[in-house]
Amino acid sequence: MPVFYSLKDIATIQPWQVGETARLLHQLQQAGHTIPKSWIISDEIFQKVRQQLVAREPAFADWPQLLWQTPNITGYARQNLAKRLIYPLVGLHLNLPLQQLLDSTNTPVHELAISSIM
């Protein structure tokens, strides 16, 4: 298991390590690190996105365990959610522009994610 010392280390996590990422974010938060607000996705928004994904591919029903082990406590790094939406476990390509999501400071991440899969 990799050792993480800062939020910068978490930002480089690979998409298939999403469950571990949520746990490590929680550990860093408990250690006094402030999680950037731009990284937080509310449970309500996550569930809306997940419902649309499950409608297209039932395998996404497993996402709460994979992505969202501590909803509304740690949130989830938006760049990692973007990677996961582009390269999901079942290989379904959703055509979500990763760079647009990473460069978007004024657009809520859920608007980008939901609009890209409608």
- CB atoms under 10 Å from CB of 81, counted, come to 24
The more confidently predicted of residues 60 and 2 is 60
CA 58 to mean position of chain CA atoms: 19
Query: What mean pLDDT, rounded, does the chain reach?
Result: 52
Segments making up each domain of the chain, as ranges:
7-117
The more confidently predicted of residues 70 and 39 is 39
pLDDT score, position 32: 78
Q: Are 78 and 109 in contact (CB under 8 A)?
A: yes
Q: Are 79 and 11 in contact (CB under 8 A)?
A: yes
- Model pLDDT for residues 13-51, shown as the tens digit of each residue: 444 455 555 566 666 777 777 766 555 555 666 667 667
Share of the chain above pLDDT 90, in %: 0
pLDDT score, position 33: 74
Pick from 7-11, 26-30, 76-80, 95-99: least confident: 95-99
Q: Which range has the top average pLDDT, 11-15, 58-62, 105-109?
A: 58-62
